[in-house]
Structure 1
Amino acid sequence: MTLRQGLLARGRRNSAAFTFVKDIGIMAQAVLTISSKNYGAWSLRGWLLARLAGLEFAEKVIPPDDADMRAEILLLSPSILVPSLEHNGIKVWDTLAIGEYLHEVNPKAGLLPSDMAARAHCRAICGEMHSGFSSMRSSMPLNIKAFFPKFRTWSRADADIRRIVDIWTDCLTRYGGPYLFGKNPCMADAMYAPVVSRFRTYDIPLDALCVGYCTSIWTLPAMQEWIAAAQEEPDDFDELDAEF
């Protein structure tokens, strides 16, 4: 069974029990600015972080002709002002900064592991995703609706893919899965969630351990909500063909 077949077969099932933390007193009056749900990898990361933290927020979606949205979609920078979070008078942008802020506001949500060594490990692989894998990201842009069977990757992207598989394998064997740092999804899972979608879109072969991890991410209720919204978006971005 390919990764795509496995995800489609279980796409509407949640592979693990998970309850969003709700703390209305702490997590109130928030607005998350995002871009396309089909193409916006960094927006997906920020949105998942907010959901995993139990944040109740309103979405502000930048229109397709906005320059910031196009910059994100064309992979010019992970640190532009999309996504950005406004919460209790504080504005935070950059996906890692949003994750760290949400952890400070609601540490009980478990965005970072409680163990110091695991927490350092989590931050390290989040940083690696944030600053690295540019060959994979540029040659395999996020496109949730698309599927390219037997896609031929190039050598630099292959090196990125191998490194990601090594990270996943190490975490899943060390912490026991089904998520990268154990039983519940955390910041690292939000950071690597767009990679799960990329591997599905571009038909990347994976071993059983990594296929199982991808299924755990794909079937998260929050991920399914994002995917459903992405499927409803129009195809408005001609520049993607040139960038791809």
Structure 2
Amino acid sequence: MSLTLIIGNKNYSSWSMRAALVLELTEEPYEERKIPLFRPESRARLLAESPNGKVPVLLTEEGPVWDSMAIAEYLAETFSEFHLWPRGEYARAVARSICAEMHSGFAALRSHLPMDLKRTPKTVALPVDAQADIDRICVLWADCRERFGQDGPFLFGHVSIADAFYAPVAARLRGYAVPLPAEAAAYVETIYQWPAFQRWYRAALEETGEK
């Protein structure tokens, strides 16, 4: 199978990271093609590859799949033997629920703590709505770990799409040195020890000429 993942800057593009981490779970070889964002030509280049002019987009032999959630579902169906969603009907439903919540919510967190993997960890004053987002995320993580995480350090035990979707959140929380409950801090460390995340992180640190 021939797959190409179109991404934006690794340092900033949290949605690109999500799609890439899910793709890594399949162990399928793929080509990665980066279109730097924030440049005058970026929009035209994106529209030439992506139907909605955004990243990420997965180019398959049948055509493009865009939006990180759709990419995740496509890969989960195509590579079902890897169990990209957790095992068990209810666990999968919860995993989809928290991914959907990430996909459509937490606007204050996104606005006030944009992902910047090169950022030297430093605290900032958090608005009430951003802190509320963080508190909700910590509850989600603790609940998933308590109910489904007995077999490993990830949200549902083994690494899954849910971890790919929350990896950029972990990066935000570390980058802004957000005080966290012990359970949440341990999960952030789990993400930073994930080899696929480490590869993305190292590549982000090496990027130049981003803006």
Identity of aligned residues (%): 40
Match among 169, 194, 197 for residue 195 of structure 1: 169
The CA distance in 1 between the partners of 2:170 and 2:189, in whole Å, is 9
Q: Letter of the 2:156 partner, please give it.
A: F
- When the two chains are superposed, the root-mean-square deviation of aligned CA atoms in Å is 1.7
Cα gap change, 1:200 to 1:187, in 2 (>3 Å): same
Task: Report Cα offsets for 1:218-239 as digits up to 9, x if no partner.
Answer: 11111110011000112532xx
Aligned to 2:123: 150
The CA distance in 2 between the partners of 1:179 and 1:56, in whole Å, is 24
Cα gap change, 1:112 to 1:213, in 2 (>3 Å): same
Query: Residues 43 and 53 of structure 2 are in contact (CA less than 8 Å); yes or no, is this contact kept in structure 1?
Result: no
Count of matched residue pairs: 201
Aligned to 1:228: 202
Aligned to 1:181: 156
Task: Report Cα offsets for 1:119-155 as digits up to 9, x if no partner.
Answer: 1001000000000001100110000010242221111
SS in 1 for 2:140: helix
Cα gap change, 1:80 to 1:116, in 2 (>3 Å): farther
The CA distance in 1 between the partners of 2:6 and 2:154, in whole Å, is 27
> Within 5 A, what are the aligned runs for 1:88-237?
88-175=61-148, 176=150, 177-182=152-157, 184-234=158-208, 236-237=210-211
Q: Structure 1 residue 59 and structure 2 residue 3: aligned? A: no
Q: Letter of the 1:178 partner, please give it.
A: P
The CA distance in 2 between the partners of 1:118 and 1:32, in whole Å, is 28
Stretches of 4+ aligned residues off by more than 6 angstroms: none
Cα gap change, 1:69 to 1:231, in 2 (>3 Å): farther
Q: Letter of the 1:181 partner, please give it.
A: F
- Mark the runs of 5 or more structure 1 residues left unpaired by the alignment: 1-27, 71-78, 238-244
The CA distance in 1 between the partners of 2:204 and 2:104, in whole Å, is 25
> Within 5 A, what are the aligned runs for 1:58-77?
58-64=31-37, 65=39, 66-67=42-43
The CA distance in 2 between the partners of 1:200 and 1:142, in whole Å, is 10
Aligned to 1:22: none
Cα gap change, 1:147 to 1:113, in 2 (>3 Å): same
The CA distance in 2 between the partners of 1:171 and 1:80, in whole Å, is 34
Cα gap change, 1:49 to 1:166, in 2 (>3 Å): same
The CA distance in 1 between the partners of 2:205 and 2:44, in whole Å, is 22
Query: Residues 35 and 69 of structure 1 are in contact (CA less than 8 Å); yes or no, is this contact kept in structure 2?
Result: no
Aligned-residue offset at 1:69? 8.9
Task: Report Cα offsets for 1:155-188 as digits up to 9, x if no partner.
Answer: 1101100100000010011112410111x11011
Task: Report Cα offsets for 1:173-228 as digits up to 9, x if no partner.
Answer: 1112410111x110110000000000011001112211111111111111110011
- Mark the runs of 5 or more structure 2 residues left unpaired by the alignment: 47-51
